[in-house]
Every structure is written in structure tokens, then in C-alpha cells.
Amino acid sequence: MTNWLQKRVRLSPGETALVFEGKQETFEEIYEAVEKLAGKLFARGIRKDEMVALLGKNDRMTFLLIHALQQLGAITLFLNNRLTKKEITFQLANAEVKQVIVADAFVDKVTSGISYEELQQTTYVEPDLCKTWDLSRTASVMYTSGTTGKPKGVMQTYENHWWSAVSSVLNLGLTEKDSWLCAVPIFHISGLSIMMRSVIYGIPVYLEEHFDEEKITQLLESGKISTISVVTSMLERLLKIQGGSYHPNVRTVLLGGGPANKAVLEICKQRDIPLVQSFGMTETASQIVTLPPKDALNKIGSSGKALFPAEVKIADDGEILLKGPSITPGYLHNEKATAKAFIDGWFKTGDIGYLDEEGFLFVLERRSDLIISGGENIYPTEIEHVIGAYEAVEEVAVVGKSDAKWGSVPVAFIVVNEGFDEGVLKDICQTNLASFKIPKQITIVEHLPKTASGKIQRNKLKERHSN
Amino acid sequence: MTNWLQKRVRLSPGETALVFEGKQETFEEIYEAVEKLAGKLFARGIRKDEMVALLGKNDRMTFLLIHALQQLGAITLFLNNRLTKKEITFQLANAEVKQVIVADAFVDKVTSGISYEELQQTTYVEPDLCKTWDLSRTASVMYTSGTTGKPKGVMQTYENHWWSAVSSVLNLGLTEKDSWLCAVPIFHISGLSIMMRSVIYGIPVYLEEHFDEEKITQLLESGKISTISVVTSMLERLLKIQGGSYHPNVRTVLLGGGPANKAVLEICKQRDIPLVQSFGMTETASQIVTLPPKDALNKIGSSGKALFPAEVKIADDGEILLKGPSITPGYLHNEKATAKAFIDGWFKTGDIGYLDEEGFLFVLERRSDLIISGGENIYPTEIEHVIGAYEAVEEVAVVGKSDAKWGSVPVAFIVVNEGFDEGVLKDICQTNLASFKIPKQITIVEHLPKTASGKIQRNKLKERHSN
């Protein structure tokens, strides 16, 4: 297939590609900037099929670099800028990264890398750009921890991104007025998939560095936006701002990261906000099961139906299984985890759910005990491993506690011995965990609730916080 | 991939699939009728991967049969109901057809076959339906004559149909209000592609048996239609009906079969008719190069740009070459013609054209001398072969003559010897050619204009009629 960005420039050079900090740029302008950056990256030795890590934030430069790395045919490891140096170091080693491109604000998070500043000062060399894209090639890698707590690099091919974009358009439609507001991180699949759709559909990305609910509301009222991707906590923050419906051009408020509760749905209905609930993950290159607005109130708590090219089914043990061309071929350098993630060609989500008689999916437990905090996935076992490494801690269990601002935050229950020092534990957490993963509360208990077979009953611990 | 119709029924069972003679049916209702018919076809011995010919017209039963054959996994040879028995016999033999399903009105056109009436009386047997579709399988075969005059069976895979539908949606968009009016034959790719889009997009087909410009105009004014496919002569007939713009829900009037002239474009602009010119053929599973409405008047005579997954380029000799996933894998049982049709992976259209500096395609000569008469492709060489077989004809050349009703009609120039009898020639034409292919005028000349190398100069003959 043709290089998507080059093809888009040929099809609609004068259409808007990016709006960032009020500045509009067309596909032609974006391409020119991307080509220049690609030349600088090329001068720095970056070549086709090489693994290059990118550590940036939602800004124009990071946006351009993502495209530039694709133009060169490099594989981009997307680093979450909220991770600690230690977490990042693990990913860089595990992915066998050759070079790291790092925003000036984050240079301390890597041992060596090319800063944006250094890159800008590099002299351009005419690069070898990929004219065509082999769809089976890996475009991006994103690490997720999974329930085992050990981070795994999810490979996303161009084919995955293509089918994700096509599946979405067959469900949500596409009009000449469309544009997608991206306030979710572009180093997450939620944000990166917006960039991919922009190129494939020929529509603008309104890129926001932070989720500022006042500013987002203004944009949704301006008529410039047709679609926005949000997670539950963002939606709740938006709804706290009083008002009626947004501009009629807003066609879709796409919700990921867990279904909305009834109160939220009622407000959306009253205010005529076209909420579209969905289910997806890094491994499915974003939404793969989606609930259209017309079914939102009939199917409260449902994530919807599998998009046209995809299928969902429930295994005998209740696990949600998925099939479709947007699903990852597997985990980087981790054949064991890949083999474990599939059964008879179906991807095992690790989530428990059911389909109702009309085929709508209901997710009961999101990755058993995953904590979603402000759109970030937090895996309790990862935190438990860090805390458990402190020899004064005998046992530990981490669960989510509902939080007005973040949706959910991690809290820990521990059983300790005489040598325990809370200060030492806090230091351990700070060194090893991104701030959003550090338990907001640590409760010392005599023992943890367990099943007969000795498994910790996390649900019982969660109940302590909801009472 | 999942069986498309079954998937569509699971996604939107209650949405309208077909409107024919005022009767609306949902995808669920359609599927139920299709399943019953599939059971009757199965009882008649039709099985997966078998070549089955279908000879019908634009009506509900033919629509259902097309789906039923797909459900069974049969390969459908689409017979043009305007062909003679002799022409049909050739196609049936060439395609090695096992069975023919024939509308009651056309039973005389085939030596043996199952009539719709007979099929209806067949007792249902539970059929083996295809749960999944291998995209590389051939879904349909349609014969085109090509410039050599010998009809060739174009194979269209499910992949071709899928990408055609997806390419179109990325260009034309998709909304909840969409519906596609099909007054072009469903045995042509123009009509069949509408049926495929309906299933993939989940939108209704408004199926019309004939192109009745009064009735079509009413539909376009009703608000029920978003999109209509037309050929030039249909568009001209529509524009003869006085009026303003159609209902605002009409988003696209998709024009195939040659570009519109300036007068037509001016009327469309005045009347705010969203004309979308396109270029495509049986081999490309419908439109592959498309001109959006906003460029219609800037780019008069252009067919537009290659759709997102496709590419167009011009060979050194001016021939238009195409590449993309909607292009046929080749001609049925005709490796020689297939090999001849491709060069380095590019499909040779046989048409001459150029790209302007902005990349818009202009087709100069449509398949050199192809005559398009009321949307039917007429290949001069095919008629020349028939006439040339009459020993009293020394030389023959057939060209198109412009015609108010049909756009163009074939006329013949012949050089004869003493044994010539016009009555005999007319009999030969009637026996061997569909009525629309029979030359409307036969002119006896002393000699045909030729190049130095002895090639007949058809352009000189065409000029005689335009003066």
C-alpha cells in the first residue's frame, strides 16, 4: 500500500491536518515539516526497521516526529512520559531500542538520547523515505503490564492501524465537517489512533497538550469539532461544567476505559451529548466493540457490539475473546506471552463478561483488577511486586479506590513485620513507580482476606472503600 | 472474515436493507428470505465454489438470489439480460457454468436452467452456509469484451468488493441518513457494488427495475435518498426534468461511464446537484478514480484522483495504469489475457489519458474506441467480427455516433463485393448481436481511411458523423 501520509498529501494537500495552540497546518505543510525532520533523524543514523523510542508529550513536535519515524520506516516505541527512569530503562532494554528521541523536558528520564533541541540543530540529509508500506510491518510498540505485572511490548502493525480506522468509520460514519479532538495522550493507542485516522480520513486533529475541561468545552461549543475521545474521568470533568448540548457538529463523544454509569448517561441524554461507549485496548489498536448513541440508554453498562470486521465471543470460563484484523500479532520478543494471549486464533482479553440475547457485550470485570486512573492503566500486581520486594512487608494487595478527580486511585493493604518503616516504603515506591501508580493510601492489616485455596480476595478489599 | 450479511444482521437487524416497489425490508427480513432461497438452491444441488450463472433483472428476487448464492459460497456469473442466446451460450460454456438460475422472462435465452418459478416450487433443504468468507475467493464473474472483441470473464473477489466499498466511504463519507438508489443494472458492477456497500455500510438499497426519470426525480426530492449512481445518459435524462436542487439529503450523484460535459456541469452547479465524476470499470470493481463535487468545475473533464488505497499512473505511451486492492486478479480461464492486462503489477486499462500538475486524471479516449450506449459498453471490434464473417464484406469499421437518447450508438462503415445483400447482413447481426449492439446505420464506402501502416483510422470515421 502507498505511504499513507504521502497519499493523503496527494489527495487533499490543502485540507487541515493539525490544529495545535490555535495554529492550523495543512497536510502539505505538515508533510514538509515531517520530511525535514525525517532528514534530521536520517542524519542521526535512524534507518528503516530500526527500533526507535519516542518520549514526548501532546505537542506539535512529537506529532511531527511520529510521522517522521513512520516515513523512515522505523518502528516507534512509544514511551509514557509519566513513567520513572527505571520503568523506561526496562522498556528500552526489553525492546532493544537503538536510539531514543526525547523531549527536552524529559531528558533526565533517559540515560542517553537525542533531545528535540539537539535534533533541531542537526543538519538535514536527504532521507530514504518509504514509498510504500508493507501492512504487515510493525508501526508502533506500546508496553502494557497485563495482570502478571511484567510489562509486555504490544506490537501494532500498519494493518492493525488501518483496520482500526476503517472499522471505526463503518460504525461512526464520516462527513466533510469531521475533525477529531485529541486530548488523550498520543503515546497511548487512544491518541495515536486519532493521528492515524486523520491521515486515512483526511480530517484535522485538534491536539491538546492537557485535558483542560474549560478549554475543551469551548472547542466543543465552537463547531470546529465533530469527535472527541475521552476516558470516564475526562467525561465526568466535562459534565461538571454546566451547559446544554454542544455544537450540533459534535457527532461523537467516544468513551473508552470502562463504561459510563447511569447518572452520566442520563446527563448526556438530557444535554443531547452523543456519547458512544466502547471497549478496546492497546492490543486491539483502540476500540473494537462499540455501543452507538441510540442504544446508550437501552443498554446501560454495555460496551456494544464488535465492529464490522471483528468478532467477540465469550469463553466457557466467561473470558471475553476477540478476533479481527486490528488485533496485535503479539508481544515484542515475548513468544511465550504471545502464545498465552491467543486460543484458536482468538485473542484472550483477560476480561470477564457476557453477551446479552441481542449480542451486546457487557464487561463485568475489567482485566480482573485493573485500576484505571485518569485514563492510565494501573496494574495492581506491578505495584505489589515493588512493595513486596521490601523485606519488612509480609503480604500486600493493591486495589482501586474511587476518586472524584481520577476515577480511581491505587491503595495498598499490607501485612508487616517488626522491621517495617513507612518512610522506607515510601522511598521504594517513589524510586520504582510513576507518581500515578504510588498508592494514595497504605493500610496495615493483620491479615488479607483469602479464599480457601489461598488466593487474595481483592473484591473484599475493594468493598472496604466503597462502604 | 465473517460472512458479511450475517454480520450485518447481527449489527443492525432492524435497519432497512431493501426498498423495492415501495416495500421496505430490514436486514433481518432480507436474511430470512435469503436463507430460504439458499435452502432451495441447495436442494437443487448448488454447492460452495461452484460456478452458477444468474440471469435476472433489477427486482427483489434477483437481489435475494445474489445474496443466497453468496451465502452458499457459489461463484456467480452475472449474465447481462440484453445479450442474445448465442452470446449467453458462449459465456456459459467459457465459464464452465454448472447451473443457470433464470428469471421467467428470460427462459428462452438459455438452453437449460432453473427458472425462478421452478426454484420457488423446490422444497427447502437446510443449506450449508459459509460462516466466514475467505477474501481471496471469487465472488462474481462479469464478462467484458475488451478491445479484442472476445469476451473475457472478469473475476471479482470478496477482497475486491470489500476494498471498493471501503475506498468509496473514505472518499464520499457515510452518515446515518445514507441510502443508495440503484437504477443501474445489478448484473453490472455499478449495481452489484451498491448491493455490497449496503451490507458493509448497513444502509438501504432503493432498487429500481427501470430508469424512469420522473420516478427517480421524485425519489431524489423525497429526502429518502443520499446517493445515486448514474451514467451520462441517465444524468442527461434527469436534467431534462425542470426543477431546482434535490432534497438536501442527496449528498452524491455518482457519475460513471465517461465524464460530464461543461453544459451538464453548469446545470448541476446552478441546481446545486452534488455531482461526483468517476472512472472505473468491471476490472476495478467500480469507481477507483473519483472527482469530488468541490473540484467539478475547476477540473472539467477530469475523473479525479485515485481513491486512498489505489494508485494511478500514466505509461510512456499514454496508457492509464492502475494499482490497488479492488483490481481483479484476472480473467477466468484466460491466463493469456490476464498476463497481457498487467505490467509490473499495474493494471493496463487500455485507456489513454494524462495527469495534470495537481494529479487529476483526464481520460482522453475511453478504451480507444469503446462505444458507451445507455450505460452499456459496446466494443466495435466485436461487431466488426460478426459483420466481417459475412463473405460479401471485404472490410468493416464500427464507430460510435452521438445519440440524444443513448449517448452514443454504433454505426458501421463497410467495403463490399458483388455478392453483398443488405438483408443477409441484417439477419447476421440480429442472430449474433444484442439489439443495442446492432449498428443503427450501415454505410457502404469505397475504402476505409487508413494510416500508412494500414491501420484503420476510426477517428476519421467518427468525424464524418460529427460534421
Helix residue ranges per DSSP H, A143-292? 158-172, 189-201, 213-222, 232-240, 262-270
Digit-coded pLDDT (tens) for A280-332: 999 999 999 998 767 877 887 789 999 999 999 999 877 899 999 999 999 99
Give A215 to chain B, closest Cα distance, Å: 28
Distance CA(A216)–CA(A228), nearest Å, equals 9
Residue A147's pLDDT is 46
Task: Inform me whether the pLDDT recorded for B65 exceeds 80.
Answer: yes
Give B22 to chain A, closest Cα distance, Å: 26
Distance CA(B291)–CA(A12), nearest Å, equals 12
Q: Provide mean pLDDT across the span A21-45.
A: 98
DSSP code for B434: -
Digit-coded pLDDT (tens) for A149-162: 578 999 999 999 99
For residue A359, list chain B residues with Cβ-Cβ distance below 8 A.
10
Q: Provide mean pLDDT across the span A96-106.
A: 97
CB contact under 8 A, B201 and A311: no
ipTM for the predicted complex: 0.83
Name the least confident of A113-117, A240-244, A286-290: A240-244
For residue A132, list chain B residues with Cβ-Cβ distance below 8 A.
none
Q: Which of A10, A173, A305 sits opposite B305 (nearest CB)?
A: A10
CB contact under 8 A, A170 and B359: no
For residue A202, list chain B residues with Cβ-Cβ distance below 8 A.
170
* Residues constituting chain B: 467
CB contact under 8 A, B309 and A11: no
Distance CA(B415)–CA(A370), nearest Å, equals 85
Q: Identify the contact set of chain B against chain A, taking CB-CB distances under 8 A.
A: 1-2, 7-8, 10-11, 166, 169-170, 173-176, 178, 200-202, 305, 308-309, 311, 325, 359
Digit-coded pLDDT (tens) for B355-397: 999 999 988 765 567 788 888 878 787 888 899 889 999 989 9
CB contact under 8 A, B174 and A176: no
Give A306 to chain B, closest Cα distance, Å: 8
Q: Which of A1, A176, A359 sits opposite B173 (nearest CB)?
A: A176
* A-B Cβ pairs (cutoff 8 Å, strict): 49
Chain B residue with Cα closest to A4: B308
CB contact under 8 A, B2 and A309: yes
The 3-state DSSP class for residue A416 equals: strand
Distance CA(A459)–CA(B362), nearest Å, equals 67
Residue B100's pLDDT is 98
For residue B175, list chain A residues with Cβ-Cβ distance below 8 A.
173, 175
CB contact under 8 A, A308 and B7: yes
Element (H, E) at A427: helix A422-432
**A390 φ, ψ (degrees, to nearest 5):** -75, 120
Chain A residue with Cα closest to B167: A166
CB contact under 8 A, B2 and A174: no
Residue B467's pLDDT is 47
Give B174 to chain A, closest Cα distance, Å: 5
Q: Provide mean pLDDT across the span B32-42.
A: 98
Distance CA(A78)–CA(A332), nearest Å, equals 13
For residue B325, list chain A residues with Cβ-Cβ distance below 8 A.
1
Residue B147's pLDDT is 46
Give A174 to chain B, closest Cα distance, Å: 5
Of B369, B388, B389, residue with least CA distance to B379: B369
Other CB atoms within 10 Å distance of the CB of residue B14: 9
**B451 φ, ψ (degrees, to nearest 5):** -75, 170
Distance CA(B328)–CA(B142), nearest Å, equals 11
For residue A178, list chain B residues with Cβ-Cβ distance below 8 A.
173
Asked if B56 and B81 touch (Cβ cutoff 8 Å), the reply is yes
Name the least confident of A74-78, A437-441, B380-384, B443-447: B380-384
Give B13 to chain A, closest Cα distance, Å: 10
Give A27 to chain B, closest Cα distance, Å: 14
Q: Residue A166 corresponds to which amino acid? A: V
Digit-coded pLDDT (tens) for A378-431: 878 788 889 988 999 998 999 999 898 888 899 999 999 999 999 999 999 999
Who has greater pLDDT, A269 or B124? B124
Digit-coded pLDDT (tens) for B186-234: 999 999 999 999 999 999 999 999 999 999 999 999 999 999 999 988 9
Q: Identify the contact set of chain A against chain B, taking CB-CB distances under 8 A.
A: 1-2, 7-8, 10-11, 166, 169-170, 173-176, 178, 200-202, 305, 308-309, 311, 325, 359
Give B71 to chain A, closest Cα distance, Å: 17
Q: Which of B166, B202, B305 sits opposite A166 (nearest CB)?
A: B166
Task: Inform me whether the pLDDT recorded for B247 exceeds 80.
Answer: yes
Element (H, E) at B382: helix B380-388
Chain B residue with Cα closest to A359: B10
Task: Inform me whether the pLDDT recorded for A63 exceeds 50.
Answer: yes
Q: Residue A235 corresponds to which amino acid? A: L
Residue B263's pLDDT is 80
For residue B305, list chain A residues with Cβ-Cβ distance below 8 A.
10-11
CB contact under 8 A, B173 and A170: no
Give B330 to chain A, closest Cα distance, Å: 19
Asked if B272 and B245 touch (Cβ cutoff 8 Å), the reply is yes
For residue B2, list chain A residues with Cβ-Cβ distance below 8 A.
309, 311
* Dihedral sign of CA atoms A359, A287, B201, B48 in order: negative
Chain B interface test: which of A10, A11, A357 (most B C-beta within 10 Å): A11
Average pLDDT, rounded, for chain B: 92
Element (H, E) at B206: strand B205-207
Give A177 to chain B, closest Cα distance, Å: 10
Q: Which of B10, B170, B305 sits opposite A169 (nearest CB)?
A: B170
DSSP code for B15: S
Digit-coded pLDDT (tens) for B122-166: 999 999 999 999 999 999 999 986 545 578 999 999 999 999 999
Chain B residue with Cα closest to A5: B308
**B393-403: strand order across its sheet:** B393-403, B407-416, B442-444
Residue B352's pLDDT is 78
Residue A466's pLDDT is 57
Q: Which of A1, A10, A176 sits opposite B309 (nearest CB)?
A: A1
For residue A305, list chain B residues with Cβ-Cβ distance below 8 A.
10-11
Give A69 to chain B, closest Cα distance, Å: 21
CB contact under 8 A, A174 and B176: no
Q: How far apart are the first and last CA of chain A?
A: 56
Strand partners, A252: A227
Q: Which of A169, A176, A359 sits opposite B169 (nearest CB)?
A: A169
Distance CA(A245)–CA(A268), nearest Å, equals 8
Digit-coded pLDDT (tens) for B398-447: 999 989 888 889 999 999 999 999 999 999 999 999 999 999 999 999 99
Digit-coded pLDDT (tens) for A337-363: 999 999 999 999 988 789 999 999 988
Give B258 to chain A, closest Cα distance, Å: 21
For residue A292, list chain B residues with Cβ-Cβ distance below 8 A.
none
Full DSSP string of A89-149: HHHHHHTT-SEEEE-GGGGGGSSS-EEHHHHHHSPP------SB--TTSEEEEEEE-TTTS
For residue B176, list chain A residues with Cβ-Cβ distance below 8 A.
173
CB contact under 8 A, A201 and B170: yes
Task: Inform me whether the pLDDT recorded for A467 exceeds 50.
Answer: no
Q: Which of B10, B173, B200 sits opposite A174 (nearest CB)?
A: B173
For residue A169, list chain B residues with Cβ-Cβ distance below 8 A.
169-170, 174
Digit-coded pLDDT (tens) for A202-227: 999 999 999 999 999 999 999 999 99
Domains in chain A (CATH in brackets) are: 4-365 (3.40.50.12780), 371-466 (3.30.300.30)
